[in-house]
Structure 1
Amino acid sequence: MRVEHILRTKESRVVAVRTTATVAEAIQLMKAENVSALLVKEVCRTEGNTLAGVLSERDIVHALLERGSSLLPMPVSQLMTRAPITCAPSDSLHHALHLMDRHHIRHLPVLDDGHLVGVVSARDFTKLQLQELSAAEPLPASPTLHLH
């Protein structure tokens, strides 16, 4: 199975922020969208879907420990992971998982010929595994709750 399979089965919308957004704005977006990482894009319109970096909850927590709340007005470009590890839609799921494990990351941007086409996360792999397990072994029926 390939990374493109996961991309086809999930929402295609990628939650991204511009490099000029503040860390506080990024945190608000993460909360509103219920995501634990944002893809960071350049402001320049000619860049299109070019990936500048990734900003994760882990990046924010580590920076909070070092700098405290003074990091909130900083642009995400100062905090993001530049040149993040990426994969291609044609890569095997095994390869993608190997990259995530080796680099201790939970989000993997997917680039097709240098253009951002999506992101796969540990949650996507968990969901896929759960679907496969459910198909092989359905969950037992829930017991009926009787109230007296």
Structure 2
Amino acid sequence: MQVSDILRVKGSALFTVSPDTPLLLAAQTMAQNDVGSLVVMQSGMLAGMLTFREVIAALAGTAPAQTRVGDVMQRNPVHCTPLTSLDELRRLMLDSRTRYIPVMEDTTLLGVISFHDVARAVVQEQDFENRMLKAYIRDWPQDDAQTAANQSLSHRI
């Protein structure tokens, strides 16, 4: 499974802000849309990421009403491509301690993958594998010795 597969299932909803956006407005956008991150775009390019972690840290600081997204955003966020495998993505998220990763194709933003999206994809993949294994076991061909023994028993009865 690749990132492109997760994006296809997840859909294309994407929420962005500019670095000049007031932090409180960005926090309201996150709350209204029930998202844990916003992609920060400037001149059509990825400038950073704003997650609830940065929002909480900024709100705990001084003068949050005057704070702009660009003051607290993650600059140069870790990102992946649509061809990144699910295993690579999990490792990347764990190693970078990142819950939200933008998906980029060259300079084009395709979406954001959350840790929740990854967990859902893993569960779906495991469910599929389990169904396939159960079907394989259920349809397991009997070997010739077992077949012969069963036929011998049925003839005796």
TM, length-normalised to structure 1: 0.81
Q: CA deviation at 1:27?
A: 0.5
In the alignment, which residue of structure 1 is the partner of 2:90? 97
Cα distance in 1 for residues equivalent to 2:126 and 2:106: 34
1:41-80 to 2 correspondences below 5 Å = 41-42=41-42, 47-48=43-44, 50-65=45-60, 67-68=61-62, 70-80=63-73
Quickly say closer, same or farther: Cα 1:121–1:132, change in 2 above 3 A: same
2:106 is aligned with 1:116: no
- Judging by fraction of residues, say which structure has more helix: 2
Amino acid aligned to 1:62:
A
In the alignment, which residue of structure 2 is the partner of 1:11? 11
TM, length-normalised to structure 2: 0.77
What is the DSSP-based 3-state SS (H/G/I as helix, E as strand, rest coil) of the residue aligned with 1:125? helix
Cα distance in 1 for residues equivalent to 2:30 and 2:50: 10
Q: CA deviation at 1:134?
A: 4.2
2:29 is aligned with 1:34: no
2:15 is aligned with 1:23: no
Structure 1 runs, 4 residues or longer, greater than 6 Å off: none
In the alignment, which residue of structure 2 is the partner of 1:127? 120
Greater CA drift, 93-102 or 23-32: 93-102
Count of equivalent residues: 130
Q: Deviations over 1:10-61 (max 9, x none)?
A: 120211111111000000000000011111111xxxx33x211001111122
Cα distance in 2 for residues equivalent to 1:132 and 1:108: 20
Unmatched runs of 5 consecutive residues or more in structure 2: 132-157
In the alignment, which residue of structure 1 is the partner of 2:75? 82
Amino acid aligned to 1:85:
V
Cα distance in 1 for residues equivalent to 2:21 and 2:87: 34
- RMSD, matched Cα: 1.5
Cα distance in 2 for residues equivalent to 1:94 and 1:2: 9
Unmatched runs of 5 consecutive residues or more in structure 1: 138-148
**Bigger CA radius of gyration:** 2
